[in-house]
Structures are given as C-alpha cells and as structure tokens.
Amino acid sequence: MSKKEEEVLRGDKDLERERQANDPMVPDGEVNPINTDYQVGQDNVVMKVGPFGLDFHNRVFAISGLAIVAFVVITLMFQNQAEPIFTNTKNWLTGNLDWFFIGAANIFVILCLFLIFSPLGNVRLGGTEASPDFSYLGWFSMLFAAGMGIGLMFYGVSEPITHFSTALAGTETNADGIRTDWAPLGGAGGDQAAAMKLGMAATIFHWALHPWAIYAVLALGLALFSFNKGLPLTIRSIFYPILGERVWGWPGHIIDIIAILATLFGLATSLGLGASQAAAGLNFLFGWAEGDTTEVLLVIGITAIALISVLAGLESGVQRLSQINMSLAALLMLFVIIVGPTVAILTGFVDNLYNYIVNLPAFSNPVGREDLNYSQGWTSFYWAWWIAWSPFVGMFIARVSRGRTVREFLISVLLIPSLACVFWMTVFGTAAIEQFVAGAEEVANVDLSLQLFVMLEGLPWTGITSFVGIILVMVFFITSSDSGSLVIDTISAGGKVEAPVPQRIFWCTFEGLVAIALILGGGLVALQAMAVSAGLPFTLVLLAACIAVVQGLRSEPRVGKPAK
C-alpha cells in the first residue's frame, strides 16, 4: 500500500470515528446488543417528489397516514353526527374500563420503583462509558415543555378549585343509593380546611407519580433497545425479547401504527385544550370573540409557527423554545408566590405532598369505588390521555436521555418532575382556593379555560400576567406540536432519526388538522373521547412492554460490573 493510500485510509478511519462519536445510536463502552439481520430503513420507500426527498416505512406510514386523513375528512363532513358518537364513546370507555386504566397505571408505578432500588438500576443507557448529551437544565426544560406544559396551564387553577368546591359541597345520592356528586373519595361537606386538603391531594394524584411512570416505562424501553441493543428507535423494538424476528413483520407494524394514532390523538387533545384556553384569554384581555372559529384560527396560526420550529430541528428549535418557556413559566409562578398567599403556598407544599401520600392508596384503588364521577370522569380520562401521549413523550425523553443510568433516569423522570408538578399545583391551586374562601367564588364558576385568567384578575398587574399566560399556552402548543412531529416522523420512517423534512411537515400539519376536526366535531368532549379511545389499545402495548424492559435490562452489563 502506498503512502498516499495509507493517508486516505487513515482519513477515512478518522471520519468514521468522528461519525460514531456524533451518532447517538453508537454505544460507548460495553453493551449486549441484539444480533439481527434487520437494517434500519430496509422496508422504507425512498423517492423524490420534485425537489423533495421522502423516506418512509412502506406500511406503517401508508396505513396510519390514510387512517388519519380519512378521520379528518369524515369528521369534518359529518360534524353534527360526530358529537353524540364522541360523547357516547367517552362515557362508555371511562365508565366500563376505569378499573383497567387505574390498575395498569399502578403497575407502571410499581415497576419504576422496583427498578430504582434494583441492581438493574446500574445499567447505563448508551453503554457503560456513555456520557449525557444534555445538561440537567436543558434536559428538564425539554421534558416539562413537551411532557405536560399545556396541561399544567389549563388545569393548574381549574382542577384544584374544582375538586375543592365539589369536596366542600359534600356527597349526594340518587334513589338507588348511587352517588351523583363529583367529590373525590368521601368528600368533606362543609369543612373548608378538609376540602382544601382533599382537593389538592386529588389534583396531585393526576400529576405526580402515575403519569410520569407511564412516560418513564416507555422512554426507558426505547432508550434501552435503541442505544444499548442497537435496534431502530421505534416502539416495536421494545418487543424483540417477546416477538423475536417477528417484530419486523406485521406484529411490529401494528404496534407502530397504534403508537402513531395514539400519539396524534393524544396531542390533538392537548392542542385543542390549548386553543380553547388561548381563545378564552384573548377574550378576557382584548374582547376577542370566543368559539370554534377563533380556536380554529389559533390552531392554524400556531401550527404554522410550529412548522418553522420543526425546520430548525431538535436542538435549535425545541430546546431553545422549551428553555424560554420554562423561564417564563417560572417567572409567572414566582409572581403568584410573591403577590399571592405566600405563607399558605409555602406551607401548603409539604401539607399537600403529605395528604397526597396518605390518600394515594384510596385514589389508586381500581375497584369498589363510590366516587364514580371522580374516578371515571377524571382519573380514567387522565390515565388514558397520558398513555396516549406516552409514545410521543416517551420517545422524546429517550432521545435526550442517553448517558444516564437507569436509576438516575427514573429518579429524574419520575420523582423530580412529580415534585415540581406538586409545587406548581400548590402555587396556582392555593391562590385560587384562597380567593374562593375570601368570597371571590367566580373563580370556581366560570369555564375551565377561563379560570386561570380569573384567578390572575385577583392579583396585581392582571393585564401583564394574563398576557404572559397566553404566550405560555401558545409556546407550549408550539413545542408539543414540534416535538410530536419529530417523534411521529421517526416511527413512520422505520426508526430513522433524521428523516426528510417534508415528512415532518406532513405530520405537523395533520396534528393541527386533527385538532381542528375534533374542535368542530364536538369540542372538549370529542378531544377527550379520542384521547381515551387511542389510549385503550396502547395500554395493552405498554403492559407488555414492562415484561420486555425487564428482560432487556437483565442481559445488560452494569456500571462497575463487566458483561458476562
């Protein structure tokens, strides 16, 4: 070999080392990869349409894309007929399968706690020598903004004040002895202090351990089987220990299709809630007309902005917007603490956390409940909604969590965000309840989408803080749509993390169109119905994933312990 050829070869090796160093799918240190002949993208269709390139999984993209297009067209064509269908669907699913959703969520929490204290927690995602790709600040910012930003803004005031007021009103029964009230557990009729404790505990139950455990289980599975096992970054990869090579066939296609549909409808629910709250805020501040037209225009406008963020990519787009929004959210929360009932908020944090833990077994009970309106109308919907979101949030968290040990990952994703959500709900919920107790009962009587702004009206600088609230909702809207597009595109591209931009544009656009179809086809009830409907089949997928994750972790080398 000549000297020139040696230099060329050395240069190629240097380029390959650099490529591997920048490729998140290449492990650092020891791993126990799965040997398979499957190549990422081997079933993809690669083509050029004019100046644009396309690279998508032939069956997953086609079936999920056509199903979503058909749903949008049919719902828009038959808006009047759609509303009762959505209402009946939601009521049947939450009324008959509440035990299933509540029981499944309990399993996810138990698994996460087991792994934290298990030796399996020493497995490092990405290999024994892998280092984190993002700082804690950047990681947490992206996690919160994509995970449940819109929900925190929409329900931060409305849920605590609702549970407080229903608990305070006590219980009611019909002629058959069945409770008709919406109070959680046994209520606290006439006792304001007890109603506040129960109302805050009932709220925190929906925002602490259980939803984050749902996200953590799927995110852990995706990170493990992609970064350590060398499989594509798709939901089907988690099931290799169960299905083997069949995971690349129709069983895997079905899993990924269900994941895409669940993600899209879960996102559409959140985008619809964000649009209704932004419309309510604009009406409150500027007198803009509320209704479907305003919400649809908001969805169109914000989706267009999200498209720009999609083009900027993960680090430039999502991370920057997430950090800006989390800074704004922290400032708004700090403002409420300072000018609101400061002492009650600061002392209430510990009290609310204690009351949540004390009541957790009763809230988690899946059978024999008397508070059916709370357990079915609130908890069942919430768990189905979080499960529908889990493919999106789980994959997003997985992509930004390389280099963490399983224990560090689960503590960060499960426990720390739960405490942050407890504090957020304590701040906004306590401020609203204190206003109610002082005589401003309007905060509990207006529409859910308006309650945040009515609470802020009771504090100084209403115009500024309400405007900040609207901006927060809109930017959370953008980051959710942006992140969701990246995730859905990865699944529909057979696990390719850098698919062509036109495909991301397609998914981002149809997220907005699905939200519009649901707004016009039944509003909030339609949004909730599709979230529950999409969450049901994916709950089964997620339960099976628990088994596969444990099997995958058992075969991995652990930090400080060499592979066998």
pLDDT of 383-403, one tens digit each? 988 898 888 788 878 888 899
* pTM, rounded to two decimals: 0.88
Helix (H) or strand (E) holding 241: helix 240-243
Q: Residue 146 has what pLDDT?
A: 52
Kindly write down the DSSP assignment for every residue of 427-460, as one continuous string. HHHHHHHHHHHTT-THHHHS-GGGHHHHHHHTSS
Residue 23 has pLDDT above 60, yes or no: no
* Of the candidate ranges 113-117, 168-172, 501-505, 548-552, the one whose mean pLDDT is the lowest: 501-505
Interval 301-323: pLDDT, tens: 888 888 877 776 555 556 666 67
**Confidence class for position 336, pLDDT limits 50, 70, 90:** very high
∠ at Cα 210 (321, 150), nearest 5°? Answer: 30
Residue 439: how many CB atoms within 10 A of its CB?
7
Answer whether residue 156 is part of any domain.
yes
Mean pLDDT of 406-434: 91
| Span between the terminal Cα atoms of the chain, in Å | 39
Q: Residue 532 has what pLDDT?
A: 83
Q: Residue 31 has what pLDDT?
A: 86
Q: Does residue 179 sit in helix, strand or coil?
A: strand
Answer whether residue 32 is part of any domain.
no
Strand partners, 519: none
* Of the candidate ranges 194-203, 256-265, 488-497, the one whose mean pLDDT is the lowest: 488-497
Answer whether residue 131 is part of any domain.
no
Residue 161 has pLDDT above 60, yes or no: yes
Mean pLDDT of 357-364: 96
CATH number assigned to the domain comprising residue 157 = 1.20.1740
Answer whether residue 23 is part of any domain.
no
Residue 25 has pLDDT above 90, yes or no: no
Q: 147: closest CA among 329, 291, 281? A: 329
Residue 191 has pLDDT above 90, yes or no: yes
The answer to whether the CB of 476 falls within 8 A of the CB of 145 is yes
Tokens of 212: 């984050």
Strand partners, 44: 57
Q: Which residues contact 280 (CB under 8 A, 6 or more apart)?
A: 290, 447, 449, 450, 453
Mean pLDDT of 546-559: 92
Mean pLDDT of 78-105: 86
Give CA–CA dist 52/409, Å, rounded. Answer: 38
Residue 20 has pLDDT above 70, yes or no: no
Side-chain-facing half-sphere of 313: CA atoms under 13 Å: 6
HEC states along 289-327?
CCCHHHHHHHHHHHHHHHHHHHHHCHHHHHHHHHHHHHH
Q: Residue 318 has what pLDDT?
A: 60
User: Where are the strands (E) in 168-310, listed by range?
Assistant: none
Q: Residue 39 has what pLDDT?
A: 83
Residue 484 has pLDDT above 90, yes or no: no
Q: 168: closest CA among 140, 182, 187? A: 187
Burial class, 57, CB count within 10 angstroms (exposed 0-12 / middle 13-18 / buried 19+): buried
Reduced to 3 DSSP states, what percent helix, strand and coil does the chain have, rounded to the nearest 5? 75, 5, 20
Answer whether residue 315 is part of any domain.
yes
Give CA–CA dist 9/493, Å, rounded. Answer: 33
Answer whether residue 125 is part of any domain.
no
Range of the domain at 299: 67-111+136-555
Mean pLDDT of 143-154: 68
Residue 536: how many CB atoms within 10 A of its CB?
17
The answer to whether the CB of 69 falls within 8 A of the CB of 77 is no
Q: Residue 21 has what pLDDT?
A: 45
Angle between helices 462-492 and 58-77 (to 10 degrees): 130
Q: Which residues contact 411 (CB under 8 A, 6 or more apart)?
A: 116
Helix (H) or strand (E) holding 226: none
Give percent of the chain above pLDDT 90: 41
Residue 506 has pLDDT above 90, yes or no: no
Q: Residue 315 has what pLDDT?
A: 54
Looking at residue 46, its amino acid is V
The whole-chain average pLDDT of the chain stands at 85
Answer whether residue 4 is part of any domain.
no
Q: Does residue 141 sit in helix, strand or coil?
A: helix
Q: What domain count does the chain have?
A: 1
Phi-psi category of residue 190: left, alpha or beta, with phi > 0 → left and psi -120 to 50 → alpha? left
∠ at Cα 479 (532, 226), nearest 5°? Answer: 75
Answer whether residue 19 is part of any domain.
no
Q: 381: closest CA among 528, 261, 480, 523? A: 528
- In angstroms, the Cα distances linking 150 to 119, 268, 355, 420, 548 are 36, 12, 25, 15, 31
Mean pLDDT of 149-176: 89
Q: Residue 8 has what pLDDT?
A: 41
Angle between helices 98-117 and 342-364 (to 10 degrees): 110
Mean pLDDT of 205-216: 94
- In angstroms, the Cα distances linking 125 to 29, 35, 130, 491 are 10, 18, 7, 20
Kindly write down the DSSP assignment for every residue of 155-170, as one continuous string. HHHHHHHHHHHHHHH-
Residue 157 has pLDDT above 90, yes or no: yes
Q: Does residue 56 sit in helix, strand or coil?
A: strand
